[in-house]
Chain A
Amino acid sequence: MHTPAPIKVKKRPFLSAAFVRAMLAGHSALGLAFAALIYVVCLSGALAVFVQEFARWEQPDGPMVEATPAPEVIAAMLRAGYARAQAEGVAHDIYLSGPLRSPGRMQVHYDDHEKGIEGEWLADAQGQLAVPITAPWADFIGALHMQLHLPRTWGMYLVGLTGVALFSSLISGLLSHPRIFKDAFMLRRGGSLRLQEADLHNRLGVWGLPFHVVVSVTGALLGLSSLIVGVLALAAYDGDRGKAVAALFGPPPTNDSTPAPVPDIGAMILQVQASQPQAEFASAFVQHIGTAGQITQLGMHLPGRIAFSQAYRFGADGKMISAANAHEGRVGQWILTALQPLHFGWFAGIAGKLLYGALGLALAVVTHTGVTIWLARRRDKGRPAPGWEKTWAVVGWSQPLGIATTALAAVLAAGVPLIAVYLLTIAAAAGVAIVASDARATVRVLRLLSALVFVAAAGVHVAAWRTVAVDQMAWIVDVALVIAALVIAAPLLVRHRQVGLAEPTQAH
């Protein structure tokens, strides 16, 4: 008797082809709409991870304080900061940070938000103010990432919305990837440009997913927090934002301007350490300083915690109002204190920063290749868009160039408006694209210029600081700039060899 051969039932895919196509359509639309914004925010974010190191690079002659000093030194720093703020007539709020919060440095920041005046100083190991902080390039990178140099509120909203769009792209990207496991380790270089870029896009996107999700959600929340608090205040606090904020951070200072002694922050640190011997000073924020309405928020870091610090609040009489351990085990408190370290990677020293920097760059590459895939698909289908190819080349490669030119400008001359340098660089990059024959030529020129300017920035910095720098971070960042230049320029040489073998048909 003839036994019929078993019929092989074709396994139904987990995601149907129609669903994948619909998701891809949404992914493409969203990606194209937000690509430039996401790219700028991600690239500047990868650099913003190192913003404290860049600040040290810009001012390597500032006093170094490696270990957290004794409580009396921190108390002396607060008194010195208060005296300075009083002399400038802006003694309203004062923020102190120790080496745990600002590595290698002790910093004092004072401001009077009503007058719109502020000042920032570095303190020495005795707690005395040594020199005003000048870090225009680090400030430029930070503001580019957090508000795109737009007015603060609107800039933060736009960056928050960009975070939402990025998170949305991650969802649609993941759901439009039916071969996620099968292709998990596949990386094909050469071949068709579209396939090569798609492999890079998918591998960096999928394996970096935990990081991508965390930074997009935390970034969106940080950017949109003021909007969310505003609506929450309308719903639950009669429109009073102060009450909504107080629900999270505790009672605000009062407006009782009766003079009062400056808080004895040394005693406060000792009081916390009496119950938490491992707690170490990270920061302090004194609002309405020198008045009977003042509130001191002491930030003490606990080992093994991701949070910068746990907050302890003290009233004008020096008595503790609320202790961090009262919120121990509360999920909301954990999220609140972990948001910033999780977003910026400031929780595991330089190793954590390097990991975050690499992953931030990977996310920028994912964004960049997303548009490149779309452009290559158009070309494959016989509908090339050379204008858009050039435009995307400018968007992609004007950013490293802009970062390099602003670094060079900051080193060359104090007081140069870096935002103007940045915008002029982008305009010049657009000019290169107009003159260049195609997108590929545009990329080559912009890569070469970026590499040269990075090397120039490092060279000028070494020449300017070689005899006076005391902070080794100066030379580390200089070396990093040269490495960045080599990485940017290297593909020019490799590609030159490849072109000799076979010229790809698609423009990049």
Chain B
Amino acid sequence: MPTDIVSALLTLAGAVLMVSGLLIVRSAWAQRGRQPVRTLCGWCLLVVGIACATFAWGEPGLIAALAAFSVIAFVIVAMGAEYRPVRAANGRELAAEPDERPTNWTRAIAKSLLAIVLAGVAAVGIGIAFAVAAPLDAADRTIIGGLLVPMLWGAGMAWTLCDAKLVRATALLLVVSACAYGIAFLPKMLSS
């Protein structure tokens, strides 16, 4: 690891590079038409800034720089805030509207069960199948399998909630669950 003074200088340089990089990206995106060179320059400065912090502090520097990236971006966004007189909504400037879907309690409960329970069952199944059968060290496959669970569950939840067709989502999740639990439990059942 570098000395304290070098680390401090690298941190400072990293912060300056990150701020400059984000400002360049902002100015590029504010122009009409594409500004690929300027955009790329901005992102490169950001990456170099993050690399400086990582070189100075190792893993903590990397994660702190990524967190700082978000906070710096918030500050730059806030600095460019546009203040308007308070008034009622203008339909022309509103964002995209969600689908207006006819719904009822039965459908809402079915969707909830699908998104929370069945997507969860499928995600846990895939995670456990990975933990049991992946060709890795036992600890590695267990931890990666565990990490897969919330990610797959979240993805499954997002998909089932946006898909208007309940039967399709149910069928796919049931098939995935059956395969995953089959992979996870079959070796044990066959050996006993």
Which residues on A are within 8 Å of B, measured CB to CB?
17, 20-30, 33, 160-161, 163-172, 175-176, 178-179, 181-182, 184-195, 198, 203-204, 207-211, 216-217, 220-221, 224-225, 227-229, 231-232, 234-236, 238, 244, 247-248, 303-306, 327, 330-333, 335-336, 338, 342, 345, 347-348, 351-352, 355-356, 358-359, 362, 376-377, 380, 498, 501-506
Contact = CB atoms under 8 A, between A and B. Distances in A.
A327 B82 CA distance: 52
Interface residues of B, number: 82
Contact of B146 (A193, A225, A306): A225
Given A167-B150, A232-B128, 6 more contacts: A175-B158, A179-B95, A186-B77, A210-B69, A247-B139, A330-B139
Nearest to B138: A247
Interface string B41-78: 00000000000000001111101101111110110111
B26 A189 contact: no
Contacts of B185: 234-235
A141 to B, nearest CB: 21
Nearest to A338: B59
B142 interface: yes
Counting chain B CB atoms within 10 Å of each CB, which of A188, A333, A355 scores highest?
A: A355
Contact of B82 (A187, A231, A377): A187
Given A211-B70, A305-B58, A335-B147, A235 B86 contact: no
Contacts of A25: 98-99, 101, 161-162
A189 B82 contact: yes
A454 B82 CA distance: 31
B97 A498 contact: no
B157 A168 contact: yes
B128 A228 contact: yes
B85 interface: yes
20 contacts: A17-B96, A26-B162, A164-B150, A166-B154, A168-B158, A182-B29, A186-B77, A195-B95, A211-B66, A228-B127, A228-B128, A228-B146, A234-B185, A235-B131, A304-B57, A305-B59, A332-B143, A347-B64, A351-B64, A359-B67
Given A168-B158, A501-B85, A348 B61 contact: yes
B168 interface: no
Given A211-B70, A232-B131, A192 B94 contact: yes
A220 B138 contact: no
A172 B161 contact: yes
Contacts of B25: 184
For the complex of A and B, list the 4 residue pairs with the smallest distance between their C-beta atoms, beginning with the closest. Answer: A304-B58, A332-B140, A220-B150, A26-B162
Contacts of B140: 330-333
Given A355-B71, A504-B87, A347 B63 contact: yes
B89 A352 contact: no
B86 A502 contact: yes
A192 B89 contact: yes
B145 interface: yes
A466 B39 CA distance: 54
Contacts of B1: 303-304
A29 B108 CA distance: 9
Contacts of A333: 139-140, 143
Contacts of B190: none
A26 B158 contact: yes
A210 B65 CA distance: 11
Nearest to B95: A198
Counting chain A CB atoms within 10 Å of each CB, which of B67, B74, B84, B90 scores highest?
A: B67
A28 B96 CA distance: 12
A388 B158 CA distance: 24
B160 to A, nearest CB: 8
Interface string B126-151: 01100110001111111111110111
Given A26-B158, A194-B89, A232 B145 contact: yes
A352 B67 contact: yes
Given A24-B96, A210-B66, A235-B128, A167 B154 contact: yes
Nearest to B181: A235
